[in-house]
Amino acid sequence: MRIITSPAAMKAWAGEQRSKGHTVALVPTMGFFHEGHLALMRMAAAKAEKVVVSLFVNPIQFGPGEDLEQYPVDLDRDETLARHQGVSALFIPKPEEMYPRGFQTRISVAELSRHLCGADRPGHFNGVTTVVCKLFHIVCPDFAVFGEKDFQQLAVIKRMVADLNMDVKILAHPIVREPDGLAMSSRNSYLGPDERSQALCLSRSIARARELYADGVRDTGRLADEVRQIIEPVTGARIQYISFVDRTTLEPVSQADDNTRLVLAVTIGGRVRLIDNGRLAKGG
Ligand code: PAF
């Protein structure tokens, strides 16, 4: 596995692979790998001959007062884990190489970035689309793999790729969960033992909404009340949003159907912001 730190060297290596006729898949990450990341790497390896994993804690997607400075890092462990997933190259650029003096461009997917996490974290998605666009230009992958846990991010990236005629196929990997249901996230490492159990209210509320949907409940106002009744009594849990949205447009719907997704953001212990989501129909 190659460790590549400069965008120019990454571009040259990926170009060389393509000129040899290899297909390339990119898995963009911010590191501190867990089983969710490794599943994305395996999906990439099943699709393409060469897998590039980028590991970059992207400063421009963090707002003032967010967790940029605390974001967990363990490069040695990440390197070992990636090696075991058949990754061909790990791209670990420095912020000053990605954003040299004078950098001022932003990619903005205006509508899809506006609500849900975009409302709580202004500028976040512009930071994500800008770095992902740069990574696509550096690596020129045939495929790029993203997790469905960041469901809005996935929708925003798909929109950017379609709108800008980018030549990359976006692959979505289902959410990977801990055995007790908690969606895997690098930010779970911020949770203390009590908060770790409080955080289960997210996946429990999705399971409850799915049960009600299976029983025929379609009114999303009623479904949202049931979700709230699970989360609100949990000590330290504060709802940022609960929304039932169309899975493509992310527009809120009043009557749920098989395309409806429940998306949630909840702060645990006053500081750890967790997101989760799930289809109401069986199988997602
Ligand atoms: O999902 C993430 O880890 C990040 O938002 C991404 C896509 C790597 C961009 O920095």
Atom 2 (ligand 1) nearest CA: 29
Residues 126-155, mean pLDDT to the nearest whole number: 98
Residues 91-110, mean pLDDT to the nearest whole number: 98
Residue-wise pLDDT tens digits, 220-259: 999 999 999 999 999 999 999 999 999 999 999 999 999 9
Domains of the chain (ranges; CATH) run: 2-173 (3.40.50.620), 186-278 (3.30.1300.10)
pTM over 0.75: yes
Ligand 1 atom index nearest CA of 28: 8
Report in angstroms the alpha-carbon separations of 33 from 27, 37, 189, 211, 282: 12, 6, 11, 32, 29
Residue-wise pLDDT tens digits, 30-86: 999 999 999 999 999 999 999 999 999 999 999 999 999 999 999 999 999 999 999
The ligand 1 site (C-beta within 6 Å) comprises 28-30, 58, 61, 128, 131-132, 150, 153
For residue 284, is pLDDT > 60? no
The reply to whether 37 belongs to the active site is yes
Q: Which two tokens stand for residue 115?
A: 């609500």
Tell me what pLDDT residue 102 has: 98
Tell me what pLDDT residue 282 has: 86
Looking at every residue in the chain, the average pLDDT score rounds to 97
- Confidence category of residue 27, pLDDT binned at 50, 70, 90: very high
For residue 283, is pLDDT > 80? no
Residues 117-129, mean pLDDT to the nearest whole number: 97
Residue-wise pLDDT tens digits, 168-212: 999 999 999 999 999 999 999 999 999 999 999 999 999 999 999
Ligand 1 atom index nearest CA of 54: 8
> Cβ contacts of residue 89 below 8 Å, gap of 6+?
1, 2, 3, 4, 10, 13, 14, 50, 51, 52, 53
Atom 9 (ligand 1) nearest CA: 128
| Whole-angstrom distance, CA of residue 259 vs CA of residue 246 | 6
